[in-house]
Amino acid sequence: MKVAVTGLNNIDSPGPGVPVIRGLKDSGKFDGTIIGLVYDSLEPGMYMDNVSDRNYLIPYPSSGLEELYSRIEYVNEKEGIDVLIPTLDSELYSFTKLAPRLAEIGIKTFLPTTENLNMRAKDKLFDFCQAHDIKAPKNILASSVQDLYKISSEFNYPVAVKGIFYDAYICNNFDEAKTAFHKISHKWGLPIIIQEFIKGEEYNICALGDGTGETIGAVAMKKLYITDNGKGWAGISLKDDPLMKLSDKIISALKWKSGTELEFVKEKSSNQYYLLEINPRFPAWVYLSVAAGQNLPYALLELAQGKKVEKFENYEVGKIFIRYSWDLITDVSKFEEIAVKGELVNKPE
Protein backbone atom coordinates (compact mmCIF):
# COMPACT_ATOMS: atom_id res chain seq x y z
CA MET A 1 0.00 0.00 0.00
CA LYS A 2 1.14 3.51 -0.78
CA VAL A 3 -0.24 6.37 1.31
CA ALA A 4 0.41 10.03 0.48
CA VAL A 5 0.38 12.51 3.38
CA THR A 6 0.72 16.30 3.43
CA GLY A 7 1.69 18.63 6.30
CA LEU A 8 5.30 17.62 6.96
CA ASN A 9 6.11 21.17 8.12
CA ASN A 10 7.22 20.08 11.60
CA ILE A 11 8.22 23.59 12.71
CA ASP A 12 7.26 25.94 15.58
CA SER A 13 3.65 25.71 14.40
CA PRO A 14 3.79 22.07 13.32
CA GLY A 15 1.60 20.41 10.74
CA PRO A 16 -0.17 17.12 11.54
CA GLY A 17 1.54 15.10 8.80
CA VAL A 18 4.42 13.67 10.85
CA PRO A 19 2.26 12.48 13.80
CA VAL A 20 -0.30 11.04 11.36
CA ILE A 21 2.49 9.02 9.72
CA ARG A 22 3.77 7.94 13.14
CA GLY A 23 0.29 6.69 13.95
CA LEU A 24 0.07 4.66 10.73
CA LYS A 25 3.47 3.09 11.30
CA ASP A 26 2.83 2.38 14.99
CA SER A 27 -0.41 0.53 14.25
CA GLY A 28 1.47 -2.74 13.78
CA LYS A 29 -0.74 -3.36 10.74
CA PHE A 30 0.67 -0.92 8.20
CA ASP A 31 3.13 -2.45 5.77
CA GLY A 32 3.53 0.02 2.97
CA THR A 33 5.17 3.13 1.60
CA ILE A 34 4.67 6.71 2.78
CA ILE A 35 4.73 9.39 0.09
CA GLY A 36 5.33 12.87 1.52
CA LEU A 37 3.64 15.71 -0.37
CA VAL A 38 5.41 18.94 0.60
CA TYR A 39 4.95 22.61 -0.26
CA ASP A 40 8.47 23.73 0.63
CA SER A 41 11.92 22.20 0.19
CA LEU A 42 12.70 22.84 3.88
CA GLU A 43 9.77 20.98 5.43
CA PRO A 44 11.57 18.99 8.14
CA GLY A 45 9.39 15.88 7.98
CA MET A 46 10.94 14.61 4.77
CA TYR A 47 14.45 14.80 6.25
CA MET A 48 13.52 12.92 9.43
CA ASP A 49 14.42 9.25 9.81
CA ASN A 50 11.63 6.70 9.34
CA VAL A 51 8.93 9.21 8.38
CA SER A 52 8.41 9.46 4.61
CA ASP A 53 9.94 7.08 2.08
CA ARG A 54 9.68 9.33 -0.95
CA ASN A 55 8.71 13.00 -1.25
CA TYR A 56 7.37 15.32 -3.94
CA LEU A 57 6.90 19.07 -4.06
CA ILE A 58 3.33 20.08 -4.85
CA PRO A 59 1.99 23.55 -5.72
CA TYR A 60 0.34 25.75 -3.11
CA PRO A 61 -3.49 25.70 -3.13
CA SER A 62 -3.46 29.28 -4.45
CA SER A 63 -1.98 27.93 -7.70
CA GLY A 64 -5.39 26.51 -8.63
CA LEU A 65 -7.06 23.12 -8.88
CA GLU A 66 -5.70 22.16 -12.29
CA GLU A 67 -2.09 22.71 -11.36
CA LEU A 68 -2.53 20.74 -8.13
CA TYR A 69 -4.36 17.90 -9.91
CA SER A 70 -1.73 17.74 -12.64
CA ARG A 71 1.05 17.36 -10.06
CA ILE A 72 -0.84 14.70 -8.08
CA GLU A 73 -1.53 12.86 -11.34
CA TYR A 74 2.21 12.91 -12.11
CA VAL A 75 3.09 11.57 -8.63
CA ASN A 76 0.42 8.90 -8.99
CA GLU A 77 1.82 7.74 -12.33
CA LYS A 78 5.19 7.24 -10.67
CA GLU A 79 4.01 5.83 -7.34
CA GLY A 80 0.51 4.40 -7.69
CA ILE A 81 -1.03 6.11 -4.66
CA ASP A 82 -3.72 4.09 -2.88
CA VAL A 83 -4.86 6.64 -0.28
CA LEU A 84 -4.20 10.38 0.09
CA ILE A 85 -4.51 12.05 3.51
CA PRO A 86 -4.41 15.88 3.40
CA THR A 87 -3.73 17.37 6.84
CA LEU A 88 -3.76 21.17 6.40
CA ASP A 89 -6.73 23.55 6.64
CA SER A 90 -5.76 25.67 3.64
CA GLU A 91 -5.58 22.73 1.21
CA LEU A 92 -8.77 20.91 2.19
CA TYR A 93 -11.15 22.85 -0.06
CA SER A 94 -8.94 21.97 -3.03
CA PHE A 95 -8.66 18.28 -2.21
CA THR A 96 -12.36 17.99 -1.39
CA LYS A 97 -13.21 19.39 -4.82
CA LEU A 98 -10.68 17.09 -6.47
CA ALA A 99 -11.77 13.94 -4.59
CA PRO A 100 -14.03 12.58 -7.41
CA ARG A 101 -11.27 13.05 -9.98
CA LEU A 102 -8.72 11.47 -7.68
CA ALA A 103 -11.02 8.48 -7.23
CA GLU A 104 -11.13 8.06 -11.02
CA ILE A 105 -7.35 7.53 -11.08
CA GLY A 106 -7.44 5.12 -8.14
CA ILE A 107 -6.67 7.46 -5.23
CA LYS A 108 -9.00 7.05 -2.26
CA THR A 109 -9.66 9.83 0.26
CA PHE A 110 -11.82 10.27 3.36
CA LEU A 111 -12.78 13.93 3.39
CA PRO A 112 -15.59 16.23 4.50
CA THR A 113 -17.87 17.78 1.91
CA THR A 114 -17.50 21.39 0.84
CA GLU A 115 -20.77 22.09 2.67
CA ASN A 116 -19.31 20.61 5.87
CA LEU A 117 -16.20 22.75 5.53
CA ASN A 118 -18.34 25.85 5.11
CA MET A 119 -20.59 25.05 8.09
CA ARG A 120 -17.66 24.92 10.53
CA ALA A 121 -15.61 27.74 9.00
CA LYS A 122 -14.50 30.41 11.44
CA ASP A 123 -16.74 33.02 9.85
CA LYS A 124 -19.79 30.70 10.14
CA LEU A 125 -19.05 29.05 13.48
CA PHE A 126 -21.16 31.38 15.64
CA ASP A 127 -24.22 30.77 13.44
CA PHE A 128 -23.67 27.00 13.62
CA CYS A 129 -23.42 27.13 17.40
CA GLN A 130 -26.55 29.23 17.76
CA ALA A 131 -28.49 26.80 15.57
CA HIS A 132 -27.45 23.84 17.74
CA ASP A 133 -27.57 25.41 21.21
CA ILE A 134 -23.80 25.37 21.70
CA LYS A 135 -22.07 28.16 23.57
CA ALA A 136 -19.57 30.15 21.48
CA PRO A 137 -17.87 33.54 21.78
CA LYS A 138 -19.51 36.39 19.88
CA ASN A 139 -17.64 37.63 16.86
CA ILE A 140 -17.37 40.37 14.25
CA LEU A 141 -16.35 39.69 10.66
CA ALA A 142 -13.95 42.41 9.57
CA SER A 143 -13.42 43.05 5.86
CA SER A 144 -11.73 46.41 6.36
CA VAL A 145 -10.01 48.40 9.08
CA GLN A 146 -13.23 50.41 9.48
CA ASP A 147 -14.92 47.30 10.89
CA LEU A 148 -12.48 47.33 13.81
CA TYR A 149 -14.22 50.41 15.18
CA LYS A 150 -17.17 48.15 16.08
CA ILE A 151 -15.08 46.35 18.69
CA SER A 152 -15.51 48.88 21.48
CA SER A 153 -19.29 48.86 21.13
CA GLU A 154 -19.58 45.06 20.92
CA PHE A 155 -16.90 43.71 23.31
CA ASN A 156 -14.50 44.61 26.03
CA TYR A 157 -10.79 44.22 25.37
CA PRO A 158 -8.91 41.91 25.14
CA VAL A 159 -10.23 40.28 21.96
CA ALA A 160 -8.93 37.48 19.73
CA VAL A 161 -8.12 38.49 16.15
CA LYS A 162 -8.07 35.42 13.86
CA GLY A 163 -7.35 34.58 10.27
CA ILE A 164 -9.80 32.59 8.17
CA PHE A 165 -7.35 29.64 8.06
CA TYR A 166 -4.49 30.28 10.51
CA ASP A 167 -2.99 32.75 12.97
CA ALA A 168 -4.53 34.38 15.98
CA TYR A 169 -3.51 37.24 18.25
CA ILE A 170 -4.84 38.35 21.61
CA CYS A 171 -5.18 42.13 21.39
CA ASN A 172 -5.57 44.47 24.34
CA ASN A 173 -6.45 47.67 22.47
CA PHE A 174 -7.40 49.10 19.08
CA ASP A 175 -3.81 49.61 17.91
CA GLU A 176 -2.91 45.99 18.60
CA ALA A 177 -6.06 44.82 16.80
CA LYS A 178 -5.22 47.00 13.79
CA THR A 179 -1.66 45.59 13.63
CA ALA A 180 -2.98 42.03 13.86
CA PHE A 181 -5.57 42.76 11.16
CA HIS A 182 -2.90 43.87 8.70
CA LYS A 183 -0.55 40.98 9.54
CA ILE A 184 -3.20 38.31 9.08
CA SER A 185 -4.97 39.82 6.07
CA HIS A 186 -1.66 40.20 4.23
CA LYS A 187 -0.90 36.51 4.80
CA TRP A 188 -4.30 34.81 4.66
CA GLY A 189 -6.74 37.28 3.15
CA LEU A 190 -10.17 38.41 4.32
CA PRO A 191 -12.38 38.33 6.28
CA ILE A 192 -10.70 38.60 9.66
CA ILE A 193 -12.58 37.26 12.69
CA ILE A 194 -12.72 39.44 15.81
CA GLN A 195 -13.75 37.13 18.64
CA GLU A 196 -14.88 37.84 22.17
CA PHE A 197 -12.19 36.73 24.61
CA ILE A 198 -13.41 34.11 27.08
CA LYS A 199 -11.20 33.80 30.16
CA GLY A 200 -10.55 30.23 31.21
CA GLU A 201 -8.57 27.06 30.56
CA GLU A 202 -8.23 25.54 27.11
CA TYR A 203 -9.37 22.02 26.25
CA ASN A 204 -9.15 20.30 22.88
CA ILE A 205 -10.60 17.14 21.41
CA CYS A 206 -9.07 15.08 18.63
CA ALA A 207 -11.82 13.07 16.95
CA LEU A 208 -12.77 11.02 13.90
CA GLY A 209 -16.24 11.08 12.35
CA ASP A 210 -17.55 8.47 9.92
CA GLY A 211 -19.72 10.81 7.82
CA THR A 212 -23.05 9.52 9.13
CA GLY A 213 -23.00 11.42 12.42
CA GLU A 214 -21.19 8.75 14.43
CA THR A 215 -17.97 9.41 16.31
CA ILE A 216 -15.46 6.59 15.69
CA GLY A 217 -13.13 7.87 18.37
CA ALA A 218 -12.33 10.96 20.43
CA VAL A 219 -9.62 11.88 22.92
CA ALA A 220 -9.77 14.98 25.12
CA MET A 221 -6.70 16.97 26.12
CA LYS A 222 -6.07 19.86 28.47
CA LYS A 223 -3.30 22.26 27.47
CA LEU A 224 -0.53 22.42 30.04
CA TYR A 225 1.76 24.85 28.24
CA ILE A 226 0.85 27.42 25.60
CA THR A 227 3.42 29.32 23.51
CA ASP A 228 3.36 33.05 22.82
CA ASN A 229 1.69 32.17 19.50
CA GLY A 230 -1.11 30.37 21.32
CA LYS A 231 0.05 26.88 20.35
CA GLY A 232 -0.32 24.03 22.82
CA TRP A 233 3.22 22.80 23.51
CA ALA A 234 2.26 20.31 26.19
CA GLY A 235 -0.99 18.65 27.13
CA ILE A 236 -2.51 15.78 29.10
CA SER A 237 -5.25 13.34 28.16
CA LEU A 238 -8.29 13.47 30.43
CA LYS A 239 -11.88 12.33 30.71
CA ASP A 240 -14.73 14.81 30.99
CA ASP A 241 -18.19 13.42 30.26
CA PRO A 242 -19.90 16.77 29.49
CA LEU A 243 -17.07 17.66 27.09
CA MET A 244 -17.23 14.28 25.32
CA LYS A 245 -21.02 14.55 24.95
CA LEU A 246 -20.58 18.02 23.48
CA SER A 247 -18.06 16.62 21.02
CA ASP A 248 -20.46 13.86 19.94
CA LYS A 249 -23.21 16.45 19.50
CA ILE A 250 -21.05 18.59 17.20
CA ILE A 251 -19.88 15.69 15.04
CA SER A 252 -23.46 14.40 14.81
CA ALA A 253 -24.82 17.82 13.80
CA LEU A 254 -22.17 18.20 11.08
CA LYS A 255 -22.23 14.53 10.03
CA TRP A 256 -18.49 15.05 9.99
CA LYS A 257 -16.44 12.79 7.74
CA SER A 258 -12.69 12.74 8.55
CA GLY A 259 -10.47 13.78 11.42
CA THR A 260 -11.14 16.96 13.32
CA GLU A 261 -9.99 19.04 16.27
CA LEU A 262 -12.53 20.79 18.49
CA GLU A 263 -11.12 23.68 20.51
CA PHE A 264 -12.87 24.78 23.69
CA VAL A 265 -12.33 27.15 26.57
CA LYS A 266 -13.88 26.40 29.96
CA GLU A 267 -15.03 29.77 31.24
CA LYS A 268 -13.59 30.39 34.66
CA SER A 269 -16.65 32.08 36.18
CA SER A 270 -19.34 29.66 34.96
CA ASN A 271 -17.46 26.39 34.28
CA GLN A 272 -19.28 26.30 30.93
CA TYR A 273 -17.55 25.15 27.73
CA TYR A 274 -17.38 27.57 24.81
CA LEU A 275 -16.50 26.26 21.35
CA LEU A 276 -13.70 28.34 19.84
CA GLU A 277 -12.94 26.48 16.60
CA ILE A 278 -13.66 23.34 14.61
CA ASN A 279 -10.51 22.50 12.71
CA PRO A 280 -11.24 20.26 9.69
CA ARG A 281 -8.30 17.87 10.17
CA PHE A 282 -6.38 16.07 12.84
CA PRO A 283 -4.38 18.36 15.14
CA ALA A 284 -0.60 18.33 15.37
CA TRP A 285 -1.00 16.59 18.75
CA VAL A 286 -2.92 13.66 17.19
CA TYR A 287 -0.15 11.26 18.28
CA LEU A 288 -1.37 11.70 21.86
CA SER A 289 -4.56 9.88 20.81
CA VAL A 290 -2.41 7.00 19.54
CA ALA A 291 -0.44 6.88 22.80
CA ALA A 292 -3.69 6.94 24.79
CA GLY A 293 -5.05 3.91 22.94
CA GLN A 294 -7.03 5.34 20.01
CA ASN A 295 -5.07 5.14 16.76
CA LEU A 296 -7.29 7.57 14.89
CA PRO A 297 -4.93 8.04 11.90
CA TYR A 298 -4.94 4.30 11.17
CA ALA A 299 -8.73 4.15 11.66
CA LEU A 300 -9.09 6.93 9.06
CA LEU A 301 -6.91 4.95 6.65
CA GLU A 302 -9.18 1.93 7.04
CA LEU A 303 -12.31 4.04 6.53
CA ALA A 304 -10.79 5.48 3.35
CA GLN A 305 -10.46 1.92 2.06
CA GLY A 306 -14.12 1.23 2.75
CA LYS A 307 -13.46 -1.03 5.72
CA LYS A 308 -15.76 -1.30 8.71
CA VAL A 309 -14.16 0.28 11.77
CA GLU A 310 -15.41 -0.37 15.29
CA LYS A 311 -15.88 2.60 17.58
CA PHE A 312 -13.27 3.20 20.24
CA GLU A 313 -14.86 3.07 23.67
CA ASN A 314 -12.07 4.11 26.03
CA TYR A 315 -8.61 5.62 26.22
CA GLU A 316 -5.90 6.06 28.81
CA VAL A 317 -6.08 9.15 31.01
CA GLY A 318 -2.91 10.88 32.16
CA LYS A 319 -0.82 10.56 29.01
CA ILE A 320 1.23 13.74 28.47
CA PHE A 321 2.77 15.09 25.30
CA ILE A 322 5.61 17.63 25.40
CA ARG A 323 7.06 19.12 22.22
CA TYR A 324 10.74 19.91 21.92
CA SER A 325 13.20 21.40 19.43
CA TRP A 326 15.89 19.27 17.82
CA ASP A 327 18.55 20.29 15.31
CA LEU A 328 18.15 17.84 12.46
CA ILE A 329 21.35 17.49 10.44
CA THR A 330 21.20 16.46 6.80
CA ASP A 331 23.25 16.87 3.64
CA VAL A 332 22.92 19.65 1.10
CA SER A 333 22.53 17.02 -1.64
CA LYS A 334 19.12 16.07 -0.21
CA PHE A 335 18.02 19.67 -0.16
CA GLU A 336 19.17 20.14 -3.75
CA GLU A 337 17.29 17.02 -4.84
CA ILE A 338 13.93 18.31 -3.61
CA ALA A 339 14.60 21.98 -4.42
CA VAL A 340 15.79 21.36 -8.01
CA LYS A 341 14.06 18.14 -9.05
CA GLY A 342 10.98 18.46 -6.83
CA GLU A 343 11.54 14.90 -5.62
CA LEU A 344 13.46 13.35 -2.72
CA VAL A 345 13.90 9.59 -2.34
CA ASN A 346 14.70 8.45 1.20
CA LYS A 347 13.96 4.80 0.58
CA PRO A 348 14.01 3.45 -2.99
CA GLU A 349 11.61 0.71 -4.10
Q: What gap in Å lies between CA 126 and CA 57, rounded to an integer? A: 36
The band of 3, judged by pLDDT with boundaries at 50, 70 and 90, is very high
pLDDT digits (tens, 9 = 90+) for 289-334: 999 999 999 999 999 999 999 999 999 999 999 999 899 999 999 9
Judging by DSSP bridges, how do beta strands 139-142 and 192-196 pair with one another? antiparallel
pLDDT digits (tens, 9 = 90+) for 268-295: 999 999 999 999 999 999 999 999 999 9
pLDDT greater than 90 at residue 119: yes
Q: What is the DSSP letter of 108?
A: B
pLDDT value of position 88:
96
Q: What gap in Å lies between CA 315 and CA 208, rounded to an integer? A: 14
pLDDT value of position 235:
97
Q: Phi and psi of 238, rounded to 5°?
A: -150, 165
pLDDT value of position 42:
96
pLDDT greater than 80 at residue 54: yes
Kindly state the average pLDDT of the residues 44-53. 96
pLDDT value of position 109:
98
**For the chain, domain boundaries:** 2-109+326-345, 138-196, 199-322
The band of 167, judged by pLDDT with boundaries at 50, 70 and 90, is confident
The band of 164, judged by pLDDT with boundaries at 50, 70 and 90, is confident
**Directed axis angle between helix 296-304 and helix 17-26, to 10°?**
80
pLDDT value of position 228:
74
Q: What CATH architecture is 138-196? A: 2-Layer Sandwich (3.30)
| pTM of the predicted protein model | 0.93
Options 1.10.600.10, 3.40.50.970, 3.30.470.20, 2.160.10.10; which CATH number does 199-322 get? 3.30.470.20
Q: How many CA atoms lie within 13 A of 336 on its CB side?
A: 3
Find the helix or strand (DSSP H, E) in which 92 lies.
helix 89-104
Listed in sequence order, the residues at least 6 apart from 332 whose beta carbon sits closer than 8 Å to its beta carbon are none
- pLDDT more than 70, % of the chain: 99
pLDDT digits (tens, 9 = 90+) for 212-236: 999 999 999 999 998 876 778 999 9
Q: What is the mean pLDDT of the chain?
A: 95
Domain boundaries 2-109+326-345, corresponding CATH code: 3.40.50.20
